[in-house]
Structures are given as C-alpha cells and as structure tokens.
C-alpha cells in the first residue's frame, strides 16, 4: 500500500472515529422563571425575532440542524453556543442585576443596529435568521424601551 493510500485511510479512520464523541446538546423544554419572556412583557413580534435569530446561541434551547451531529462541526457549534450563552443567556436574563440587564439591553441594541448580531457565520447557513431593516428597528426600539424602564 502506498504512503498516499495509508494517509487517506488513516484520515478516514480518524474522521469516522471522532463521530462517536458528541458534545452535550443545549436543549431544554423548560422556560425558567428567570427567562426574559417571564421577566418582561415581550411583544409577539419581538419574541418571534428573538426565537428565529437569537435563541439558538443565547438560550438554553438550541434548535439543532441535521449537520449538528457531524464532527468536527458539532464541536465548533457547541463551543460557539457556550460562548454565546456566557455573553448573554435569555433563559437566565432575570438573574442578572438591574445594572447588567440595562447594559445588556444597550449592548444588544448597539450590536443589532451595527449589524454585528446575529453573527455572519450563523446567518450564512441560517438564512431565515438574517434581520431585515424592519426587524432591526423593532429590536432596537424594544431594547431601548426596556433599558429605559429598568430603575
């Protein structure tokens, strides 16, 4: 067997082998008492946008596509979700201090307005998560209203 065939066979064995090591899934059907939708009155249009464009990376319930079980992409996705939840988790938003909530609302408004969120790496595959100008305006206005409402 030639060296080239040995390398290809070795890579195939490694790629097949890593498929057996799956990261934990970020899925929970429970809407906790500290979820943003329980803490604040989230209008239906805002909720629809957040669900479609934000919750996969920023909540405790990710909707996983078919390719999420293929390695090494699943590890990349798991790391991406972990980082997203560390930065902002809508499922535990009510646990943040009032100051942190205000800052998060301000930051979310700025990132949506500047086109930084949702990430382009996410919207590249999830085309339905791309925010229209109208969606951006709805979110920015609501985030601003919420920021101003926190004492």
Q: Which two tokens stand for residue 111?
A: 């990132």
Other C-beta atoms lying within 10 Å of the C-beta of residue 127? 7
Minimum mean pLDDT among 20-29, 87-96, 97-106: which range?
Answer: 20-29
Could you tell me the pTM of the whole model?
Answer: 0.80
Residue 8: CB partners within 8 Å, gap ≥ 6? none
Nearest CA to 112 out of 89, 135, 87 is that of 135
Res. 69: pLDDT tops 90: no
Q: Which of 13-17, 60-64, 117-121, 139-143 has the highest mean pLDDT?
A: 139-143
Looking at the predicted structure, is the pLDDT value of residue 54 above 90? yes
């Amino acid at each position: 067997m030639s060296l080239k065939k040995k390398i290809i066979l070795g890579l195939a064995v490694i790629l097949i082998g890593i498929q057996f090591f799956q990261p934990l899934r970020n899925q929970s059907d429970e809407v906790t008492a500290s979820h943003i939708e329980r803490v604040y009155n989230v209008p239906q249009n805002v909720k629809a946008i957040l669900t479609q464009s934000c919750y996969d990376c920023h909540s405790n319930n990710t909707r996983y596509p078919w390719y999420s079980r293929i390695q090494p992409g699943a590890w990349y996705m798991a790391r991406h979700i972990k980082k997203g939840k560390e930065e902002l988790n809508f499922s535990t938003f009510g646990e943040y201090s009032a100051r942190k909530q205000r800052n998060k609302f301000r930051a979310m408004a700025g990132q949506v307005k500047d086109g930084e969120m949702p990430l382009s790496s996410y919207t590249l595959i999830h085309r339905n998560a791309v925010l229209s100008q109208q969606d951006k305006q709805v979110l920015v206005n609501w985030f601003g209203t919420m920021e101003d409402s926190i004492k």
